[in-house]
Amino acid sequence: MTITLKYFGQLAEVFETSEETRDLENINVTDLIKEISSGYDLDHIPYQIAVNQRIIDCNEQVNLNDGDTLALLPPFAGG
């Protein structure tokens, strides 16, 4: 299955891209976050996770499907 990953703000800087696609076997959000964050120090960057434009709880076990989009969203500032 193919998943699109989108990174915003400081996270795009850390990953040096704002978007990528990955071909994966059956995987859930928690395992995918562990996989993509290995090798990066993300502990100091707060972020939320959205699957198909729906923000989810980071402890929620959401299985991903072919064509899904997962976004890592830093806090938004208003003005």
Q: Cβ–Cβ contacts within 10 Å for residue 64, how many? A: 19
The overall pTM is greater than 0.85: yes
Q: Could you tell me the domains of the chain?
A: 2-73 (3.10.20.30)
The string of DSSP letters for 20-47 reads EEEE-SS-BHHHHHHHHHTTS--TTS--
Segment 4-30, tens digit of pLDDT: 999 999 999 999 999 999 999 989 999
Q: What is the pLDDT of residue 76?
A: 74
**pLDDT at residue 79 tops 60:** no
Residue 46's alpha-carbon distances to 8, 21, 29, in angstroms, are 12, 23, 17
Segment 27-64, tens digit of pLDDT: 999 999 888 888 888 888 899 999 999 999 877 889 99
